[in-house]
Structure formats: structure tokens, C-alpha cells
Chains A and B, each alone.
Chain A
Amino acid sequence: MALLALRGIGMRYGAVQALTGIDLDVTEGEVLALCGDNGAGKSSLVKILSGAQAPSEGTLTLDGDATRFRGPQDALRRGVATIYQDLAVAPRLSIWQNVFLGSELTRPPFGLLDKRRMAEASRGYLARLAVTIADMDTPVERLSGGQRQAVAICRALRWDARIIIMDEPTAALGVKETAQVLDLIRRLHAEGRTVILVSHAMGDVVAVAQRVVVLKGGRKVADRPVQDSSGTLEAAELAQIIIRGAASGIPLDPFLKNRLI
């Protein structure tokens, strides 16, 4: 049974039809990549998955039960955490403040903040991602891009999220930091968590995802495993699907291919 299933999801903004008839099954424990060009409908779908927006049509089932998220906080409480590209962390706040943002720990008898326990727990979450940072009081703005993503993921772990949606986690990162973030995703996968990776970076997608879903013009145009009997999906082929809406067999224009990959 699918952990999260979408049936006939449509999204309209006034006269604009952003999504049409999306069916999608998210299997527990997989890394699912969501691809598509700008305007393909990725953001609309992420907003629906994260609870930020209710779909105009269609149903969403979580663990087999038809459901409706009342907001991002509701989705988070039910195990679906979203890490937004620019809004993941509060830059000037410390690591532990970010990990426990909105769900701070207190201790009796006065209900004051238990800073030590939050710092220690944050260190523990980071260790699970194989990230070591000496001082949990460090403001997040002084961390590398990869470490920042790790802090954002720790907040999802703090909620014990089963599904972690990552919106373009490597978009602003360098080569080394991108590798670090891909490693974070592999570790989440190894923990048995489900990751939905929204990304433009086709190399990243084929490196960590087990399955790729491609949107074009608000419709799902491809849904296939990265690894199948015919071998591994290549980044070039994925680029072709994203651009043309299907793998046509006609090789991509070499100029485009070089620009894209």
C-alpha cells in the first residue's frame, strides 16, 4: 500500500490550470524525485503535499485514509515535513533554536526553556546525519550550505517525519556541498524515511532517487524507476523527458545537452 497517494489532483488559480489529473503513489522508504521545467507544476504540487494549499480537485490519502491537511503545521504533525528552499532556517538563530523552532523544550518547575537538552538533542540529530559541528550555539548563517540543509532536516527529524519533502535543496550550493546534501538524503533513506526530492539538477536526481516523476504543463508525463531492466536512467534522457514530455528516442540537440547536464 502506498504511504501517500494522490488521485486526480487538479489545481486552478483563477483561469490558470496549474495541475491536471495527477495520480501519484509514494511508497514508504523510497526517494522519489519530482522533476519538471519551470512552470511545469512542481511548486503547486509541493504546496499540496506540504499542506500549504488544498487542491481544487482530487483526493489525498495518507496511510490509506482520505485526508486533508489544514496547513503546513497540520501536515508536520502527521509526519509530512517540508524543507523550503529559502525559508528553511532563521539565519541569525542558533542551531538548536532552528531545530526546535516552534516546538521548544521546557523543563519543570517553571516551564523555562531547556537549552541544554535542546542543544544535546540537536547534536544527536546531526550525528545521525553524520554531521559534526562543535558549538550548537553557532548561528546558522555561519554554517556552510550543506550544514544548513542538515539543520533544516534535523527539524524534520525532531518531528519524526516519515515523509520529508525537499524543495531544490542543492539549488544554491557548490559541488562539494551538493555532494554533502546528497549524502544526507542517502542517510535519510537508510533510516527508512521517505524523501520527495524536488530538483532541477538531473545529475543529483539520478544519483539518489529510486523513482522519477516528471511533470509538464501541469500533467504527469513520466513515472519510472531510475534503475530498471534496461539499466540506469541517464541524466540526458531525463532532460529529454523534462523538455519534450517523453523520451522520444531522438537524441537531444548536443548544444542543449551540454547546457543542461
Chain B
Amino acid sequence: MTAINGGGMSGFLTRYGAAIAGLLVFAGFALASPVFLTAGNMAVVFKETAFLGILAIGFTLALTTAEIDLSVAEVASLAAVVTGALVHGGQAPWVAICAGLAVGTACGAANGIAVTVLRVPSLIATLGTAAIAKGLGFMLTQGVAFVGRWPSSFTGLARGSTMGLPNLVWWLGGVGLAAWVLVKWTRLGAHLVATGEADEAARLAGIRTLSMKRLALTLAGACAGLTAVLLASSLSSAAPGMANDHFLYAIAAVLLGMCMFEPGRPNIPGTIFAALTLKVLGNGLVLLGAEYYWQDIVLGAIILASVALSAAGMGRAPFVKKLNFRTGK
């Protein structure tokens, strides 16, 4: 227990150890590969980090209320094909963008209702939503991708730069800042955290815990919708299942993020920094000539190690108890 919030060297390492490891990985690749630090490669890493980061921020918000959302990636894929279909069909970009955001938000709201009204555990409910979203995505597209020269008013969302920084980095910064202010500085955020930390005590103190869970899951869906719009905009294409590669990455980012800054707790800065670390790792491995499948293996190892590393803190995290991640403690 003392190791978590304790002072001294061990306290410092628990807080910042994983983040420092991330920086070491970065430095290692910078030394090992001449390409790694080039502007072009860094732009790729940051763009990838933005998609992953926004998706994982949604996941983090759900986890803040001790609910887990396994549907974020499939929901993002569905929202992306809806957006893509509309742009491709010649609809005004704003219509397509709103539709993509709406699909994500609606899926999140559906998760919220399944969990709080139908009382299906989120682990199961979001798995169901994921399957439905996947099926709908293929139904809408018949498995075919939308690719084309889309209007620059749409592709400009994610492409290009503003004030020297890629637009995607601005998106991640904006969403990250908004989510951080929400969780750390608003009453609503305090209620989200209290719901996740001590459901029953929060309810007895007058916090509407079920509404908080619904809200968090809805926001997770909205983040998935935004990720989808940005993905479609950036790639100028949409295909069923296009966001699925982000699924394991998002889980890993949130769990690794829980080893950073606020050990044992889902937190926004941790999630963003972990997303960057993971994308640096994936990119560096490719540059060093590792086969693609190594990314999955490393990702799996990171998921296991993050939970084990912050075990002392995680063991007490309410959602861990709920999922029975750690037993016999």
C-alpha cells in the first residue's frame, strides 16, 4: 500500500517508472534506427497515436465508472463506414460527420442502457454490441470498401497541419484536455470517479450512479465515433472492420496508462502517454525489421505486465475486483 502513494524512490518509480520506460524505448529506437526520428516517421507515429488516443480516452472514461467497453473498436468501424458511405454518396461532409458521431454515440448509449437498465454486465453487454456493430458494418457495405477522391473539406479534418502541428495532434490534445478537465475539475467528473471508486457509498451520498455509468459509456461511444470520422477523413476511405486493429492497442493503452502518473487508476494523461509509447514501440519494431506479428506478441506482454506491475494498486481498483482479474488477494 505504501508503495503506491508513498514517497521516496519507490514512490517515484511507481508513479513515473512506466513513463520513464516509455522514454527509454523512444531513445533506444532513436539510436538504433536512422529513420525513426525523421519528421516523416514522427508524423506517422503521432497520427497513429491520435486515433488510438481518442479511442482509448473513451475507454478510460468508461473504466472511470468501473465499466469496461469492449465495443469501442467495432463501433468505430461501423461509424467509419456510415461516414464513408455518406461522403462517398455525395452528401455534405457535415452530414457525414454528424452521422458518424451519432452512430458512435448511439452505440455508446445502447451500451449504457444495456448495463444500467437491462443490468447486463458491461463485459458481456459491450461484447454483444461489438458483434452487432460488426455485423451491421458488413451489412451496410456488403464487405466492400469505400475509396475515392473525397472533398477536401472532409479530408482536411484529419490531414494537414495547423500552426505547425498536424491536425490530428490538435484533435487528440483537444479531446484529451476536455476529458481531463471533465474528470478532474468538474462536479460531473467527481461523480464519475466516485461511481467507479465506491458505487454504493456514492449512491448513498446522492450521486446518481446509474446515470454516471450511462454517461461514461455514451461518451466512450462518442469518442469511438470521432475516431471513426478522423480515420475515414485521414485515409479517404472506409471499410468494415477498419478500426479493429486498434482494439488490443486501446486496452493496452488504458492498462499501461494505469501504471503511469496515478498508479492503479484509469487516468487521461496516462492513457495518452501510454498510447504514444505503444505506437512508438510498434513503429520502432517495424523499422528494426521485426515481422508484423511481433506487435501483437509485444502488446499482449505489455497488457499482462501492466496489470502485474501495478498489481498492488490495481488489486484494489474496483473494476479489477469486479472482473476478478486478481483473485485470492
Interface residues of A (CB under 8 A from B): 72-73, 76, 82, 84, 87-93, 97, 101-104, 106, 111-113, 139, 141-142, 155
Quick check: B198 and A93 within 8 Å, CB to CB? yes
- Of B181, B198, B206, B264, which is within 8 A of A76 by CB? B206
Min CB distance B77 to A, Å, is 35
- Tally chain B residues at the interface, Cβ within 8 Å: 23
Any chain A CB within 8 A of the CB of B213? no
Most chain A CB atoms below 10 A, which of B1, B197, B198, B201: B201
- Of A88, A113, A139, which is within 8 A of B186 by CB? A113
Quick check: A101 and B202 within 8 Å, CB to CB? yes
Q: A106 CA to B186 CA in the complex, in Å?
A: 8
Q: Which residues of A contact B264 (CB under 8 A)?
A: 92
Chain A residue with the shortest CB-CB distance to B189: A113
Interface residues of B (CB under 8 A from A): 1, 5, 181, 184-187, 190-191, 193-194, 197-198, 200-202, 204-207, 264-265, 316
Quick check: A102 and B194 within 8 Å, CB to CB? yes
Quick check: B187 and A90 within 8 Å, CB to CB? no
Q: Report 11 cross-chain contacts, Cβ distance below 8 Å, ordered by A residue.
A: A82-B204, A87-B201, A91-B316, A102-B202, A102-B205, A113-B184, A113-B186, A113-B187, A113-B190, A142-B1, A142-B5
Give the interface SS of chain B, mostly helix, strand, loop or mixed.
helix
Chain A residue with the shortest CB-CB distance to B198: A90
Q: A155 CA to B205 CA in the complex, in Å?
A: 9
Q: A87 CA to B200 CA in the complex, in Å?
A: 7
Q: A113 CA to B207 CA in the complex, in Å?
A: 16
Quick check: A87 and B1 within 8 Å, CB to CB? no
Min CB distance B240 to A, Å, is 41
Chain B residue with the shortest CB-CB distance to A93: B197
Known: A92-B316, A113-B185, A113-B187. A102 touches B198 (CB 8 A): no
Q: A82 CA to B200 CA in the complex, in Å?
A: 13
Q: Which residues of B contact A92 (CB under 8 A)?
A: 197-198, 264-265, 316
Chain B residue with the shortest CB-CB distance to A100: B190
Min CB distance A261 to B, Å, is 33
Q: 18 more A-B contacts (CB under 8 A) besides A92-B198, A103-B206?
A: A73-B206, A87-B204, A88-B201, A89-B198, A90-B197, A93-B198, A97-B190, A101-B201, A101-B202, A102-B194, A102-B207, A103-B205, A104-B187, A106-B186, A112-B181, A113-B184, A113-B190, A141-B316
Quick check: A106 and B202 within 8 Å, CB to CB? no
Q: Which residues of A contact B202 (CB under 8 A)?
A: 90, 101-102
Min CB distance A82 to B, Å, is 8
Q: A112 CA to B204 CA in the complex, in Å?
A: 23
Quick check: A101 and B207 within 8 Å, CB to CB? yes
Q: A173 CA to B187 CA in the complex, in Å?
A: 33
